[in-house]
Structure 1
Amino acid sequence: MTDNTIIIIGAGGSIANAFLREQHNRFPAHNLITISRNVHDKIADNHQHFQCDNSEQQIQAVTQSLSTVVKTAQSITVFNGQLHNEAFSPEKRLEDINEHYLSWILKANTITPMLWLKYIGQRLGPKSRCVITFLSARVASIDDNELGGWYAYRASKAALNMAVKTASIELARRAKYCKCVLFHPGTTDTNLSKPFQKNVPEGKLFTPNFVAQQLSTLITTRDINGQVDYIDWQGKAINW
């Protein structure tokens, strides 16, 4: 039981905007639903937007109002995430760890996506057929961590990975035709990565449009097997 609805959460960012347009290009007749803190320009008559401040109360209210379409959606993609702000940057050493930065980034990268999954998951059922995708990062990999640093960001994304992995076990019982994906987009030319682009190898700084195209292809080719996929922009598995 799948309708032609695509839901994009955290739709205000560069990758999310590119993904919205890519999905519209691929599926022009599909219903598009975007959710973000701010007003979002509609790109088509079949595009509906909801504002949400990411408090649990509003997340619950929005998912309740979308209860029917969530149950039958084709894909739900959660783009919420942060790395730095005017006050904080990723830590280079233990002495840089800051309680306020940790709290802020855990809220953005772990708590908010999991609240969305909490209320989305309540509305999925045995007949739902949906790919639910979250933006993760390669630096969340415990096996792959050979450089150190970036304590809060690594921890928040690793926590997201574990939480989604855990949720996928439950969804395999309650909505066995749904699939969770953790997606590493690579270094993309966005505000999030701008302070860190100078050391990116040539050809490895991707445009949002390229990442959106890769993600759009990957979520339509997932094997619905009750497992969560932790993959990069090429579709290659990342070690946990």
Structure 2
Amino acid sequence: MSNVLIFGASSALAQAIAAYRAQAGRCLLGVGRAPEAPACYAHYVCCDYSDEGLEQVVQRLRELEVAPAEIWCCVGVLHDEFFTPEKRLEDLSAEQLSHYFAVNTIIPALILKHLSAFIASAKRPKVAFLSAQVGSIGDNALGGWYGYRASKAALNMLVKTASIELARRHRDACLVALHPGTTRSALSEPFAARIPSHRLYTPETSAGRLVSVMQSLGPDDNGGFFHWSGEPLPW
């Protein structure tokens, strides 16, 4: 059984993925900002996602003598108590754009940087970064949500670029971006009233779908961007 490492471990979707993988007997390692460890993880590291913090995660993995073969990055931000997605050009600010890119793009890039050696040494490594369909440039017909869209599009480019390098190091590697669908959580709460009930999924439903997609993917899918249904999404 492979070890499963989940970043953004305290989010509703991350915990649902953890619970799903625990049913299969996987050893779960969680990384998150919360000081207290969620109960679903066998091991947990509190991390601020800085270079120093991620190096502590690497050190903890070495101490545990585990090389996770399945890695999930569930780190992301859409809104917080200070801002909501921009609807117009007039809403743009350097501070808000910087925050979107810091969380949705830079943190995943640093995770890849620090975990690259573990990914390259795993038997059949699978790595999933939770992206968003609104990060698709080709699929953008509505506009708005500038910072979120742009930071997720940048994440997609990071995944695609890193997948090429990782394939040179490990021909069986599979690094992908996944769209989980709109999941009922703190992330979607301000917008839930506008979303039809049949398009707003429980964390458990989304987790089951994502795990199923991950299980179906292999080296030929490396560098892909996939919908929760398993269908490829346009960049």
CA distance in 2: counterparts of 1:165 and 1:68, whole angstroms: 31
Say if 1:91 and 1:150, in contact at 8 Å, map to a contact too: yes
Q: Is the 8 A contact 2:15 2:40 kept in 1?
A: no
- Residues 117-165 of structure 1 show CA distances to partners (whole Å, capped at 9, x for unaligned) of 1111133336531110001000000011111110000000000000110
Superposed, which structure 2 residues align to 1:97-112 within 5 Å?
Answer: 97-112=92-107
Q: How does 1:23-38 map to 2 (within 5 A)?
A: 23-25=21-23, 27-28=24-25, 30-38=26-34
The equivalent residue for 1:222 is: 217
Q: State the Cα deviation string for residues 143-199 of structure 1 (Å, max 9, x = none).
A: 111111100000000000001100000000012211112111111111111111222
**Match runs of 1:1-240 below 5 Å:** 4-25=2-23, 27-28=24-25, 30-38=26-34, 39-43=36-40, 47-67=42-62, 72-125=67-120, 128-225=123-220, 227-240=222-235
Residue 120 and residue 59 in structure 1: after superposition, are their counterparts in 2 closer, same or farther (change >3 A)? same
RMSD: 1.8
2: CA distance between counterparts of 1:127 and 1:5? 10
In structure 1, what residue type is equivalent to 2:5? I
Q: With structure 1 as the length reference, what TM-score do the two structures score?
A: 0.92
| Cα gap change, 1:68 to 1:168, in 2 (>3 Å) | farther
Q: Secondary structure at the match of 1:34?
A: strand
Gaps of at least 5 residues in structure 2 are none
1: CA distance, partners of 2:142 / 2:160: 25
In the comparison of the two structures, how many residue pairs are matched? 234
More helix by percentage: 2
